[in-house]
Structure 1
Amino acid sequence: MPPPAEPHRTVVDGRVREVSVPPLVPPVRRGSLADLPYDNARDAPGAVVFGRKRRDGAWADVTASAFAAEVHSVAKGLIAEGLRPGDRLALMARTTYEWTLLDFAAWAAGLITVPVYPTSSAFQTRWILQDSGATACVVEDTAQARTVSTERRGLPGLAHLWVLDSGAVDQLRRAGAHVPDEAVTARRGLLTPDTLATLIYTSGTTGRPKGCALTHANFLAEVDNAVALLHPVFRSVSEEPASTLLFLPLSHVFGRMVAIGCVRARVRLGHAPSIENDDLPSDLAGFRPTFLLAIPYVLEKVFHTARATAERMGRGSSFDRAARVAERYGHAPAPSFGLRAARALYDRLVYRRIRAALGGRVRYVICGGSPLGARLSEFYAGAGVEVFEGYGLTETTAASTVTPPQRPRTGTVGWPLPGTAVRIADDGEVWLKGGHVFAGYWDSQRGVALPATTEGWFPTGDLGALDDEGYLRITGRKKDVLITSAGKNVAPGPLEDWLRAHPLVSQCVVVGDNRPYVTALIALDHEGLVHWRRMRKKDHIALWELTGDEELLATLQRAVDEANRLVSRAESIRAFRLLTTEFSEAAGHLTPSLKLKRAAVVRDFAREIDALYAGE
């Protein structure tokens, strides 16, 4: 495979301020996402496009022709129930085959889909259904149905509520049995690339979620260029067909983009609705994907679990040596003979177990949501799993930058995705431009998307910098920047990301706004803490008492000292407080996509923060 095209760089005052990469494929001028199942059925009817888990745990293949037939019958059912072109259909469920089926069926019926996180509260659910003007809603189970039903009085426009566990898909099939096939064909014919495909609501870290209006063209520009760029990931380059098991929420643009990309590229796609306990490892072992998409948390957990297992077996030192070899191998542009020999030795002893935890056949991971960190990225590369890091937002249909194949640079989020331009504004804010940038934010009063770009450029609210070769490094969020009482600007993101990668740390919040120096709240990881206590024979000490344990405090202080090496003295963490309570969505400290609600944490832990400055 040839290396990706070099980006065009614009230099101002000796610094790269803008980078762009030309598209690898021309923009789509006609049709929509609704055509993808039908195109697949026509061009490759026997191609396996889905793996669907049966009740006995085995995975059954679904061909392109079978999927198109299902999409068509459900689309007819939606038409039979009275849904009109442009109506909004809300989907509230975990990551399941039925979610993707309904997504494409809704498009075939000319509808606009509105994802709702399955963990959303009644208030959050009502807000999204109300703001989007949803005419119908599909939920997974009776608990979600009750959540919607309790808010029904405030949703006069919601005419339909279907429950997947109660046979919603079969109900729609039966309802549409009398609808002529031509009705779906006519609905599909009304769609153009510029037609609105979905309203995806932002996570709402600082207020009410906003509806991001994404068109069919946005998704097609995104997935077509991603598939073309990441050719080894999405295309079979050997006798082993490409496949992936999706376990991230389809309510999030990242998971949604990859699902659509798999249908576009005819990659076998499986759905894993649960990541609890042994559910995900069992599904990975049964499905055996060749690539995954994940957030850093998943890769961190796999690493820390493997490290803890090795330590329990008395092989912690051996694992650490293997990790160092993998990191050196992953970092080295041309590994020496000795390094290759050491890597081969540890591949049999350690790395194959890491790959086994991911299903055994995974060779690529697309990682996004937050920075993974150079150490883990290099470790996985050395262990035989290439990680493509990316950066993007809901407003940009997921990825705007990605690690270029054969040209990785750890610590960055790569080059612009082909067809994308990145600009660094005077204040350091990252601006993005391209065919994947959304139509605008949904205006519920007018029923249209209001543009949020200036001459095609979207200001992300993120801070970043471009290096001499055009690689982007994200340094924080504008709204999160702390200003100490001495006037020092501090971006908390790099410090928090570094500490969060520690096995004992669940979350970290750096504080210091209008304070003389920077401090941190560290929420301890329950599993990591239990393992640490067991290995040091401190099971008799209650978990809450460990926050004052000198050995534990010393361990975390070393982690803080390492993180402080990333920044200047004025930006470094001077003190920290351990919390045994993990931040959670239920407590209001995390969004459904696990982003921190910084203001809520600072409010709820004001006493602990004040204690950090008690002696100032």
Structure 2
Amino acid sequence: MREYSVPMLVDVPASANCADVVFERGEQNPGAVVFKRGTADGWAAVTAAEFRDQVAAVARGLIASGVQPGDRVALMSRTRYEWTVADYAIWAAGGVGVPVYETSSAEQIAWIVSDSGAKVVIVETEAHESLVGSALAELGEKPAVWCLDRGAISELSAHGADVPEETLKERRTARGGRDLATIIYTSGTTGRPKGCCLTHDNLLFTARNVIAGPLQALFETKDPAALLFLPLAHSFARLIEIVLVESGAVLAHTPNMKNVAPDLQSFHPTFLLGVPRVFEKVYNGAEQRAAAGGGAKSRIFRAAVDTATAWSRAESTGGAGLGLRARRALFDRLVYAKLRAATGGRLSHAVSGGSALGERLGHFFRGAGIEVFEGWGLTETSAPSTVNIPGANKIGTVGKPLPGVTVAVAEDGEVLVKGRHVFESYWNNPAATAEAIDPDGWFHTGDVGTIDEDGYLRITGRKKEIIVTAGGKNVAPGPLEDRIRAHPLVSQAMVIGDDRPFVSALITLDPEALDQWKEANNRPGATLAELRTDPAVVTAVQSAVDESNKQVSKAEEIKKFVILDTDFTEESGHLTPSLKVKRNLVVRDYTKDIDALYG
């Protein structure tokens, strides 16, 4: 078994908990700006003292509501400032946060709240309040529900006005590293979500070693600031929230994904985090705008992409030559500077996780002046286990282990992990825990990968998603799907072929990209049902499939595909909130299309 370890940089005292930093910084540096809130008049600053006081007031309200040490409090909201206030208030009250995606169904809400035994539920909107009410109607003892849009922060603050300071201090200092901090329910691509139990030590050990180690340079820039727009119910965004609060960088939230572009320009972040689909959208949007501008602009953009990629590859192997540096300088003025300006002008680094970014995008963005560091991990590992770092970014890999983490690859190719960041158990599910963590303490991730001679991990697929064709050929669908999704017109791709004579794919079209395509091709009234069989669209998608097939053997190639008349979305139930395809549900709902491919 091949393994690789990185020594711990920061130890965390056994007495430490996630709420400590809020009260320590509020006392030691009360005037420091730690948040900015979006308002109609721009971004309003929130100081460390103001944040501390709000957290303390809401924590008192939770205590007055009956929350006892170790009690679970569910939090269902989009990513917004009030989420972070509530999150830290739950910890300050001695509680355990249970995040719920704001897109969750009544059945999912009922399962998470009942399984966790939540005593209080904080929701964002009145619609959420109504949904939670109907979801919990059959519960014997219903939790109290507070609504952010109906003034939950103010109401909880008033509710706890009589709770003494001594009581709050006793509550928040009584919780230590071994105590449960949060239960995060996995996305549930198959079956019911499992509650992943993470302690204060899991989260703080990970956050503090990230700050001191691989991403230290991101916090050493002038006035570091980050815009958070991924769902805070997801472990990746949640850990970054903790990293930012621990580091003292300025954090802003964007509740609506449609506002990301204007918020980037007005907030001017120095770094951000995203999932590969976000970076694909940025690239594809720039490419389509160039194509809409005519032949000359399209050629300039294509040349700029080739130059950025060549420059980045050269930087990985000793540095670019004089001619390549000159071309990059030219395209920096023509293309790259405009791309950076669209992100606020200060953005130089980003972190990507959730699924594979791909070398094409990694090299392009680095060449354009925004270096994307790809990382990898699971909810069970407090989000990250590995990440690339400034000055040692090996594009195409997910980096080396974090400080204090050991990663290994078993004989069957499965990636195993050890470290203080690894969860202790699944809530109320000892059988699943025993299956995930072996007697030697290794967490079995379910991902398949390799570790190179320098300790960099490369993820090649999911163990349970490996396709075995009727001819006995093993096929990893992930790399094929990533290449197809790189095409501007494509939204999602799902490769199939288990026990089938050949590999095929279900492909969906990107509605936003189609709008631009229809305008450019003088087809304003064309419907999706018409476009899925349009020869020009089919040819474009075929080119994406052909490009994907270049990376595999003949036996692994996608021989046929079908373009569906709809997209996979969270609302349709075919994507998890972290944008992973629920393969079993897609197979169930598109049986006719799959059968037609093999008919």
Which of residues 374, 385, 388 in structure 2 aligns to 1:400?
A: 385
Q: Distance in 2 between matches of 1:548 and 1:74?
A: 55
**Structure 2 match to 1:154:** 138
Gaps of 5+ in 1: 1-11
Cα distance, 1:560 vs. partner?
A: 1.1
**Structure 1 match to 2:420:** 435
**Structure 1 match to 2:115:** 131
Instruction: Tell me: CA distance 1:316–1:64, structure 2 relative to 1, closer, same or farther (3 Å).
Output: same
**Structure 2 match to 1:522:** 507
Give the residue type in structure 2 aligned to 1:100.
Answer: T
**Structure 2 match to 1:250:** 232
Q: Distance in 2 between matches of 1:232 and 1:193?
A: 23
**Structure 2 match to 1:286:** 266
Q: Which moved more, 1:398-407 or 1:262-271?
A: 398-407
Q: Distance in 2 between matches of 1:363 and 1:481?
A: 36
Q: Tell me, what secondary structure is at the counterpart of 2:532?
A: helix
**Structure 1 match to 2:458:** 473
Q: Tell me, what secondary structure is at the counterpart of 1:110?
A: coil
Which of residues 318, 325, 338 in structure 1 aligns to 2:300?
A: 318
Q: Tell me, what secondary structure is at the counterpart of 1:506?
A: strand
Q: Which moved more, 1:448-457 or 1:144-153?
A: 448-457
Q: Which moved more, 1:403-412 or 1:416-425?
A: 403-412
How well do the aligned residues superpose, as a CA RMSD in angstroms?
1.7
Q: Tell me, what secondary structure is at the counterpart of 1:173?
A: helix
Instruction: Tell me: CA distance 1:57–1:444, structure 2 relative to 1, closer, same or farther (3 Å).
Output: farther
Which of residues 169, 175, 182 in structure 2 aligns to 1:185?
A: 169
Q: Tell me, what secondary structure is at the counterpart of 1:306?
A: helix
Q: Distance in 2 between matches of 1:579 and 1:159?
A: 42
Q: Distance in 1 between matches of 2:106 and 2:407?
A: 38
Q: Distance in 2 between matches of 1:406 and 1:57?
A: 39
Asked whether the 8 Å contact 2:30–2:47 carries over to 1, the reply is yes
Residue correspondences, number: 593
Asked whether the 8 Å contact 2:214–2:390 carries over to 1, the reply is yes
Asked whether the 8 Å contact 1:440–1:451 carries over to 2, the reply is no
Cα distance, 1:584 vs. partner?
A: 1.4
Asked whether the 8 Å contact 2:16–2:201 carries over to 1, the reply is no
Asked whether the 8 Å contact 2:528–2:566 carries over to 1, the reply is no
Asked whether the 8 Å contact 2:288–2:488 carries over to 1, the reply is no
Q: Distance in 2 between matches of 1:397 and 1:445?
A: 19
Q: Please say if 1:141 is aligned against 2:125.
A: yes
Q: Distance in 2 between matches of 1:271 and 1:118?
A: 15
Instruction: Tell me: CA distance 1:511–1:445, structure 2 relative to 1, closer, same or farther (3 Å).
Output: closer
CA shift digits 1:231-266 (9 cap, x unpaired): 4554233xx300001000100011111111111000
Q: Distance in 2 between matches of 1:608 and 1:154?
A: 39
Give the residue type in structure 2 aligned to 1:410.
Answer: I
Give the residue type in structure 1 aligned to 2:76.
Answer: M
Q: TM-score by structure 1 length?
A: 0.94
Which of residues 327, 337, 346 in structure 2 aligns to 1:342?
A: 327
**Structure 1 match to 2:206:** 222
Cα distance, 1:450 vs. partner?
A: 7.4
User: Which aligned pairs between 1:341-490 and structure 2 lie closer than 5 A?
Assistant: 341-443=326-428, 452-454=436-438, 455-490=440-475
**Structure 2 match to 1:20:** 5
**Structure 2 match to 1:121:** 105
Instruction: Tell me: CA distance 1:57–1:569, structure 2 relative to 1, closer, same or farther (3 Å).
Output: farther
Q: Distance in 2 between matches of 1:504 and 1:311?
A: 13
**Structure 1 match to 2:311:** 329
Q: Distance in 2 between matches of 1:444 and 1:460?
A: 17
Q: Please say if 1:537 is aligned against 2:522.
A: yes
User: Which aligned pairs between 1:173-212 and structure 2 lie closer than 5 A?
Assistant: 173-212=157-196
Query: Percent identity at matched positions?
Result: 50
Q: Distance in 2 between matches of 1:379 and 1:24?
A: 32
Which of residues 276, 281, 285 in structure 2 aligns to 1:296?
A: 276
**Structure 2 match to 1:29:** 14
Give the residue type in structure 2 aligned to 1:488.
Answer: K
Q: Distance in 1 between matches of 2:450 and 2:574?
A: 29
Instruction: Tell me: CA distance 1:164–1:307, structure 2 relative to 1, closer, same or farther (3 Å).
Output: same
Instruction: Tell me: CA distance 1:93–1:540, structure 2 relative to 1, closer, same or farther (3 Å).
Output: closer
Cα distance, 1:495 vs. partner?
A: 0.4
**Structure 1 match to 2:63:** 79
Q: Distance in 1 between matches of 2:21 and 2:12?
A: 15
CA shift digits 1:168-219 (9 cap, x unpaired): 1111111111111010110122111010000000000011000000000001
Q: Tell me, what secondary structure is at the counterpart of 1:153?
A: coil
Instruction: Tell me: CA distance 1:548–1:444, structure 2 relative to 1, closer, same or farther (3 Å).
Output: closer
Cα distance, 1:539 vs. partner?
A: 3.6
Q: Tell me, what secondary structure is at the counterpart of 2:19?
A: helix
Cα distance, 1:48 vs. partner?
A: 1.1
Q: TM-score by structure 2 length?
A: 0.96
Q: Please say if 1:610 is aligned against 2:595.
A: yes
Q: Please say if 1:98 is aligned against 2:76.
A: no
Q: Distance in 1 between matches of 2:514 and 2:539?
A: 14
CA shift digits 1:320-377 (9 cap, x unpaired): 1111111111111201111111111111111112112222211110100111110110
